[in-house]
Structure 1
Amino acid sequence: MTNPSKLWKSASGWSHYLWRERPGTLDLSGQTIQSSETGSPDSPPDESTLAEQRQKSAEKRKRRAAVLEVLVFGLFIAVIMAASYGERSPMAFYMTQNVERQILGGGDVAFSEISDIPTCWTWITTGLMPALHVGTWYNGRVRPGARLLEDMVSYPLGHVQLRQMRLKPGKHCEPPKQMLNVTSRCIVEYSNGMADNENYTLLWAPQPNTTVNATDGSICDHINAQIPPGLYDCVGNPWMHTSVSLTDDMPYFGKHGSYIGGGYITSIRTANDTNFLQQNGWLDENTRALFIELILYNPHVNFFSVVSLAVEFTNLGAAYKSSEIVTVRLIQHDVILLLALRGVLALFLLYFTLREGKSLLSRPLEYLMEFWSWIELLVITIGFSTIVIYFYTQNIIDQVAEQRQNGNSAFHLYKSAVSWFQLSTYLQGFLICCATLKFIRLLRFNSHVYALSMTIRKSIKPLFYFMFTVAIVLLAFILVMVLVLGTNSDGYKNITSSLQSLLLMMLGNYDFEALSGGHRILGPLVFFLYQVVMQFVLLSIFMVILFDVYENGDWTTNPYDLGFNAFLKETATEAVEKIKGTFSVKSKRKKLEMERRFSTDMIPKINRGFSELNVV
């Protein structure tokens, strides 16, 4: 028989163990049960603790705002790059090279060998026109009249357009009196003020002062009787001046003048047109610039190539050539994606506009005095300009499609679209440059970026005074080079070209043979002195100034430092603690549940024990 006293003690002990409240234990809901021994919950924290917590919270918000700003601006740059590079392809370079080889390299006289008006006509007749009308295929099949390049994949859109700029007829200058016995002819340089804009007839004869209505073709009938069919009509002909606006044609800046759009324009279709223009003196001594323009299209890669060739006939008697081939993709396959990117870009720019406008209104003078504020305004202005030009170019492309469907010539629209596309490309490049500089500034909380920016800022003043000295020394060498080599070397013919050549010489790009050929002694001597002064003296002083500023600067205290290392460490620690706390709560809940289950199993046993005691 069990001892009643032992059984009572055992039952009392288990009851005390199961039902006592332990400090810090959790109930089934996960809440802490306060022990009766510990008393009331903790009292509120004091003011110092609250201030410390507020400071930590403010620092966290500041760090998160900086991280968010970097991420947003990084996404903005990514959108700009996607919108800019999405319209371009590296294959455009190869098509440009292919077109240049086929157009400029053929004929009895190459384009680079043009020296006067007769050789220019020779290249057009034997080089340009045959290159655009290849009738024999690779398999020997002949297709007469086919308008196709030699590569069999590039198609001319429209006909070749010739445009010339002329001087006004008449005598514009006189030679010195001492030389009148040699010649009385004198030709001036071209300028827009001296450009001819009158209308003429064949052989540049003045047009009769006769008014002709739209239905009367008496004058035109007489002219057209002598001209190959289709060369021109009464509305526009090679001897009538055509004016265009700046929005339709960009100015051309040549070696011997700047030329606005328009002029005397004609289109040549066959060799007969070329021969007729040559025989009737369409190019003569008053011609100052001839522009040869055509548009090619390769449907296999969806590229348009706008070929612009210029020949300047100067009063020196020489012809100066230049060529420009621009290959672009005017019709995009991913139009929806590009429109979406432009829409996202517009939203970013609108957000930046509102933010900068708020800063400008809150502190106008301080805002306008900051350098980076102007960078922000520049980014916003250029960004909106690129969007406007993009949609304007798309509108021109839509007009091109409409004109071609109606069977009309759309040459000027193609050229205008490509010109605006190029302008948009230049603005996008400048926009990416400014945005990247702004992005570097956002990383100023980094110690190395801060040291770089402060070194540049503090070295501006000493470098300004130093660059003033460099400018004087450089001007001395420029004047020497112009005087010594100006008549023999193209790189030193004037002050501008001499400055460019000397700056390239500092980078190691120079033609020593041209220097020695200009003057056998002075050329190499000036070159040697320039290299010693610039490379060994001035460049060394420049580096010493930067090193001195960097060495004497205190870069240990960064006012923009946000303590990102500590922030990342603290964030990681908090995340680990939260994970540990989650597992700890689950473990405590599981332990408490086991205790409750254990207690539930023991209650019947205790009841039986009490029953046995009552029986005894």
Structure 2
Amino acid sequence: MWSIIREFMIYAIFLILLCIISFSNLTQNSFYQTDHLQKYFLNTRQPDCDYTQILTIDDYWNWLNNSFISNIRAQQWYNDDQPVNLNGYINDKTNRMIGWATMRQLRSKSQLCSDQRIISTCIEDYSLFNEEKDSFQPGWTLNRTSIEAERDYSSSILKAFQYQSSKELDTYAYVGDYGTYSGDGYVYEFRGRLSDIKSNLSLLHQLQWIDANTRAVIIQLTLYNPNVALYTSVTFLLEFLSASGVYPSTRFEPLNFYVFTSLTQLICTIIYICFIIYFLIIEIKLLIKLKLKYFYEFWSIIQIGIISCSITSIIIYIWRFKEYSRLSSLFQQTNGYVYINLQMTVYVDDVLTSLLGFCCFFGTIKFIKFIRFNKSLIIFVQTLKYVTKDIISFSFMFSIVFMAFLSLFYLLFTSSIESCSSLLSTAQMLFEITLMSFDATDFTGADPFLGPFCFSIFIIIVVFICLSMFISILNDGFHHVEETPIEDQQILFYMLKKFLNWTHLRRPNVEEIYEIQDSRMRSQYVDPIENFPDKIDQLLEAIDRIYVDQKKELLKLKRAGV
């Protein structure tokens, strides 16, 4: 019992340390920082300059000229005072821009149309195979000499029409809502005075820098809020689809580079690393002992998940600390006037957050192992074991039915319902319907007859019949386990009661006091069967002593009679 309690306490301490480290990696200020920047840049309160409502290229240029440009430079205060000591800050006068913002464009090549009777050339959606990689002169022309271009345009305009690789730009691939875009492209840098930037944007608009071949425009900038010590990577993506349509999206990623904000967090991290090393040694010994059988144990897989995620998180912590040191020294050397792209850091931070989440998940799941003697948990586990084969058979049947409805809804409503525009979104919609979360008016608007008919058939077959079968399988397993006697279901309660009595956190009741007194009396006057051989030996020794004493007395009497 005490070994189980000791193991329980050790793992409870480990789980507490894991939660402290995981939750201290996040800060509440991240939400407020993101919420502020979204309202600040998206400008949703002004319908004419609302980024989320951009539908055409002209709308995008309007947002750039009338909203975005004025926001990335600190303007005068409300009382017309100059923004003293705010050089490099954006107009909210709280966040400092690291370097400058960049606007990168990715283009697709023109190709011959499959049907040339209407039009000869077509432009497909963006992909790595049809990406435009040639350099052009302003206006996307090739017939003007470089000397004439240098005389008519500034270097920033000329550079905006020159193709640059991701290595030159220090950028990486970006995943959008409708495609994945490489780190290459044509870049314009928002550098210089505000008046120069406005004139350059007007010139780029006239030169049709964004045209029919454009497939994505990505604006990236990095901000630093010294009040809460948070870096923020800001990305604006505008996607152009070949089927027509402009789709804007944004991403605000706050980053906390400070790994250890207090001595307590540092101590907890060191103790946590010691726990991981201890668990790693134990699992290696078990692997050597059990060999391949080790991987057939459920709790072994959980422990592997905890150890692997923890070790990877520690490596990322070290990398992030080095990255923070590099950025700090670079910022100090240049006074912030250098372009720093945190795109890779954002990706790594997302991986770290996922690893910490899986660590907490696996750690909490393993905690069930130490309360496995609980009656409800035993019934739950035994029920799952009993119905495993039935659930597997049901899963195959349900998958076939679900795939049939997936094909039906996708083929019928792919052009009329947004949630059926792709197979993945259609599957998501059907799962929501299965959970009784839906809006039936979409199907009625798509087709007055087929919409309600298919929806009704799905509800009857999947929701009513299939889910009823699933519940019946679980109910049958539950009743079978409930009728089966379960041993050792009160061990956890017994251990807890003994532990509380030992620590004097709980006073025994009258029946327990009588039971303790009775056990003491029985231990004094009633011997267990294991002591029977010793008692026999004591009896024989007593008889032997009596016999010897009698012989001595007889010898004395004989001598006295003589």
Match of 2:81 in 1: 141
Match of 1:86 in 2: 24
Summarize deviations over 1:79-120 as a string: whole Å, max 9, x none. Answer: 222112113222322221221111112663321222233322
Q: Compared with structure 1, are the counterparts of its residues 232 and 174 closer, same or farther at alpha carbon in structure 2 (3 Å cutoff)?
A: closer
Match of 1:109 in 2: 49
Contact 1:134 1:150 in 2 (8 A): yes
Percentage identity across aligned positions? 24
Task: Give the one of 91, 114, 119 matched to 1:175.
Answer: 114
DSSP-derived class of the 1:163 partner: strand
DSSP-derived class of the 2:218 partner: strand
CA distance in 1, matches of 2:240, 2:463: 41
Contact 1:200 1:239 in 2 (8 A): yes
Match of 1:124 in 2: 64
Contact 1:445 1:558 in 2 (8 A): no
Within 5 Å, give how 1:166-245 maps onto structure 2: 166-168=107-109, 171-176=110-115, 180-205=116-141, 224-228=150-154, 231=156, 239-244=162-167
Summarize deviations over 1:198-242 as a string: whole Å, max 9, x none. Answer: 44443445699xxxxxxxxx96x865544446x389xx7651312
DSSP-derived class of the 1:284 partner: coil
CA distance in 2, matches of 1:413, 1:322: 19
CA distance in 1, matches of 2:122, 2:95: 45
Deviation at 1:428, TM superposition (A): 0.9
Contact 2:259 2:321 in 1 (8 A): no
CA distance in 1, matches of 2:310, 2:143: 49
DSSP-derived class of the 1:312 partner: strand
Match of 1:519 in 2: 447
**TM-score, length basis structure 2:** 0.80
Q: Does 1:551 align with 2:479?
A: yes
Amino acid at match of 1:274: L
Q: Compared with structure 1, are the counterparts of its residues 332 and 386 closer, same or farther at alpha carbon in structure 2 (3 Å cutoff)?
A: closer
Amino acid at match of 1:175: S
Task: Give the one of 311, 315, 323 matched to 1:388.
Answer: 315
Deviation at 1:339, TM superposition (A): 3.8
DSSP-derived class of the 2:118 partner: coil
Q: After the TM superposition, which of the residue ranges 445-454 and 346-355 deviates more from structure 2?
A: 445-454
Q: After the TM superposition, which of the residue ranges 479-488 and 360-369 deviates more from structure 2?
A: 479-488
Match of 1:8 in 2: none
CA distance in 2, matches of 1:481, 1:347: 54
CA distance in 2, matches of 1:410, 1:557: 72
Q: Does 1:445 align with 2:373?
A: yes
Task: Give the one of 279, 284, 293 matched to 2:220.
Answer: 293
Task: Give the one of 157, 181, 198 matched to 2:98.
Answer: 157
Task: Give the one of 188, 195, 198 matched to 1:266.
Answer: 188
Q: Does 1:351 align with 2:278?
A: yes
Deviation at 1:463, TM superposition (A): 0.9
Deviation at 1:390, TM superposition (A): 1.5
Q: Does 1:417 align with 2:356?
A: no
Summarize deviations over 1:475-501 as a string: whole Å, max 9, x none. Answer: 222222222221111101122111001
DSSP-derived class of the 2:219 partner: strand
CA distance in 2, matches of 1:551, 1:393: 53
Q: Does 1:367 align with 2:297?
A: no
Deviation at 1:164, TM superposition (A): 1.9
Contact 2:375 2:490 in 1 (8 A): no
Q: Compared with structure 1, are the counterparts of its residues 357 and 493 closer, same or farther at alpha carbon in structure 2 (3 Å cutoff)?
A: same
Q: After the TM superposition, which of the residue ranges 199-208 and 333-342 deviates more from structure 2?
A: 199-208
CA distance in 2, matches of 1:555, 1:70: 30
Contact 1:400 1:410 in 2 (8 A): no
Amino acid at match of 1:341: C
Summarize deviations over 1:373-429 as a string: whole Å, max 9, x none. Answer: 222112111111111111111211111111112216554443332332222111111
Deviation at 1:508, TM superposition (A): 3.3
Contact 1:245 1:261 in 2 (8 A): no
Q: CA RMSD in A?
A: 3.3
Task: Give the one of 295, 320, 329 matched to 1:402.
Answer: 329
DSSP-derived class of the 1:192 partner: coil
Deviation at 1:255, TM superposition (A): 3.0
DSSP-derived class of the 1:296 partner: strand
Deviation at 1:549, TM superposition (A): 0.8
DSSP-derived class of the 1:194 partner: coil
Q: Which has the higher relative contact order, 1 or 2, with Cα contacts under 8 A spaced 6 or more apart?
A: 1
CA distance in 1, matches of 2:5, 2:143: 73
CA distance in 2, matches of 1:323, 1:464: 42
Match of 2:382 in 1: 454
Match of 2:360 in 1: 432
Deviation at 1:291, TM superposition (A): 0.9
Task: Give the one of 553, 565, 581 matched to 2:493.
Answer: 565
Summarize deviations over 1:546-584 as a string: whole Å, max 9, x none. Answer: 11112112686657768243345556677899x999xxx
Contact 1:204 1:239 in 2 (8 A): no
CA distance in 2, matches of 1:557, 1:64: 26
CA distance in 2, matches of 1:83, 1:569: 32
Match of 1:41 in 2: none
Amino acid at match of 2:255: V
Match of 1:255 in 2: 177
Deviation at 1:140, TM superposition (A): 4.0
Q: Compared with structure 1, are the counterparts of its residues 174 and 140 closer, same or farther at alpha carbon in structure 2 (3 Å cutoff)?
A: same
Match of 1:96 in 2: 34
Task: Give the one of 506, 510, 513 matched to 2:438.
Answer: 510
Q: Does 1:70 align with 2:8?
A: yes
Contact 1:397 1:413 in 2 (8 A): no
DSSP-derived class of the 1:137 partner: coil
Q: Which has the larger radius of gyration?
A: 1
Q: Compared with structure 1, are the counterparts of its residues 410 and 500 closer, same or farther at alpha carbon in structure 2 (3 Å cutoff)?
A: farther
Contact 2:287 2:294 in 1 (8 A): yes
Deviation at 1:77, TM superposition (A): 2.0
Summarize deviations over 1:316-341 as a string: whole Å, max 9, x none. Answer: 12112221112232346715544433
Contact 1:375 1:434 in 2 (8 A): yes
Contact 1:516 1:524 in 2 (8 A): yes
Contact 1:288 1:312 in 2 (8 A): yes
DSSP-derived class of the 1:520 partner: coil
Match of 2:461 in 1: 533
The count of corresponding residues between Structure 1 and Structure 2 is: 500
Could you tell me which runs of 5 or more consecutive residues in structure 1 were left unpaired when the two chains were aligned.
Answer: 1-62, 209-217, 582-616
Match of 1:306 in 2: 233
Task: Give the one of 470, 475, 487 matched to 2:403.
Answer: 475
Contact 2:107 2:214 in 1 (8 A): yes
CA distance in 2, matches of 1:68, 1:526: 58
Within 5 Å, give how 1:41-80 maps onto structure 2: 63-80=1-18
Amino acid at match of 1:197: K
Q: After the TM superposition, which of the residue ranges 137-146 and 363-372 deviates more from structure 2?
A: 137-146
Q: Compared with structure 1, are the counterparts of its residues 74 and 262 closer, same or farther at alpha carbon in structure 2 (3 Å cutoff)?
A: farther
Task: Give the one of 444, 466, 479 matched to 2:394.
Answer: 466
